[in-house]
Amino acid sequence: MENIRMVDLVSQYENMKEEIDAAMQRVVSESRFINGPDVKDFSGNLSSYLGAKHVIPCANGTDALQLALMALDLPAGSEVLVPSFNYVAAAEMLPICGLEPVFFDSRPDTFNLDEDKIEDAISEKTRAIIVVHLFGQACDMDRIMSIASKRDLKVIEDNAQSIGSTTNLSGGDQKFLGTIGDIGTTSFFPSKNLGCYGDGGAVYTQDDALAEKVRMFANHGQVKKYEYDLIGINSRLDTLQASILNVKIKRLNGYIEARRGVAAYYDDQLKDLDWLETPYRNDFSKHVFHQYTLRIKGVERDALKAYLESKGIPSMIYYPKPLHQNPAYSHYRTMDLKVADQLSNEVLSIPMHTELEESTLDFICETIKDFK
Ligand SMILES: Cc1ncc(COP(=O)(O)O)c(C=O)c1O
């Protein structure tokens, strides 16, 4: 079987080519490339989708984290808790914003930060926690918000991998991830569940004052043109990218359903193999499967990866090294990170996207089953 991809953006585009081409052509004809009307429309569309009072588009998901931290304005040198088994963006923005990452451990089942270990990681200097809803599944926001309110911590939700996922909260509310903490951030990197055709990101919050600050920081700290109340950066979502996102956001729920269908197929085919674990689902949220990540336990993970490659099946290791093991981050305070270390040796993500056909899924599953 040919051309199996981890993410198939080509086929996805082919399925909405006319609408995307028309949107892009219109933006080019109007030539309002910066802060054109599509950007405002997209902000409104995402805000209605998520039920977030404010959505501020920006240039990428890393900038979104930076803008969130700038707006929260924590005292210089404050510690911020962040999981070590994670993409680098949250950790790197902390020193850049004059803050100290403190790495703590993950859960072996969901791969998300371990809520049981938050309290132990808090010191007198701790002021915030960055909650990363990894691979499309929610952290336990009830527990996190209750610890945060008891210990006076700000909560930043990194929603780059989990847009569209909802969680049930005590009291019966169901909310979209990213809208529960003080501030949420996301990325529209092309392979994300809602991806554009380049870089893009957004910050969301229910808080008017935080939103105003994020808007200003993203626009050079300007109150109005050429008047600067804050020292800011330049972080904008292009009009062209916004026009693409306006086409794709209408399809987001369909994309999520397609991903869940792929996950259910994999679960069904792979669940009986005793040398791997299929993804665990917590019972309070709805997984949106940004990744379908296996834990390989009874065979050599890297040998399996090489074998799949030889059969034309791509796979990826997210993440091969927890952040604390990297020279740039090894001098920061850490907690016991046994699970993060273990996960990095065991995880393997297999193809997950919106256009996977049953024959391809069948081939992938049969090939995996034949490994041992
Ligand atoms: C969890 C997480 N946070 C932040 C980012 C950063 O997003 P961007 O690449 O748009 O800067 C990513 C991107 O992969 C991510 O996965």
Over residues 160-186, the pLDDT tens digits come to 999 999 999 998 999 999 999 999 999
CATH 3.90.1150.10 fits 252-369, yes or no: yes
The residue nearest atom 7 of ligand 1, judged by CA position, is 61
State phi, psi for 103 to the nearest 5 degrees: -90, 130
Q: Please, what CATH class does the domain formed by 9-104+111-249 belong to?
A: alpha beta
Range list for CATH 3.90.1150.10 in the chain: 252-369
- For residue 290, report the distance from its CA to the centre of ligand 1, in Å: 12
> Do 155 and 131 form a contact (C-beta atoms < 8 A)?
yes
Range list for CATH 3.40.640.10 in the chain: 9-104+111-249
- Structure confidence at residue 2 (pLDDT): 74
- C-alpha–C-alpha distance, residues 40 and 38, integer Å: 5
Model confidence at 88: pLDDT above 80: yes
- For residue 122, report the distance from its CA to the centre of ligand 1, in Å: 25
- Structure confidence at residue 256 (pLDDT): 98
- For residue 359, report the distance from its CA to the centre of ligand 1, in Å: 31
- Structure confidence at residue 115 (pLDDT): 96
Mention every residue, 6+ apart, whose C-beta is less than 8 A from residue 323. Answer: 82, 84, 85, 86, 88, 91, 101, 103, 329
Q: Mean pLDDT over residues 148-152, rounded?
A: 97
- For residue 256, report the distance from its CA to the centre of ligand 1, in Å: 19
Write down the pTM of the prediction.
Answer: 0.98
- Structure confidence at residue 172 (pLDDT): 92
The tens digit of pLDDT for each residue in 283-336 reads: 999 999 999 999 999 899 999 999 999 999 999 999 999 999 999 999 999 999
> Do 136 and 159 form a contact (C-beta atoms < 8 A)?
no
Residue 356 corresponds to which tokens in the numbers above? 């996977």
DSSP state of 115: G
> Do 107 and 127 form a contact (C-beta atoms < 8 A)?
no
The tens digit of pLDDT for each residue in 212-230 reads: 999 999 999 998 999 999 9
Whether ligand 1 lies within 6 angstroms of the CB of 291 is answered as: no
CA distances from 328 to 57, 82, 88, 322 (A): 29, 15, 11, 12
- Structure confidence at residue 372 (pLDDT): 87
The residue nearest atom 15 of ligand 1, judged by CA position, is 160
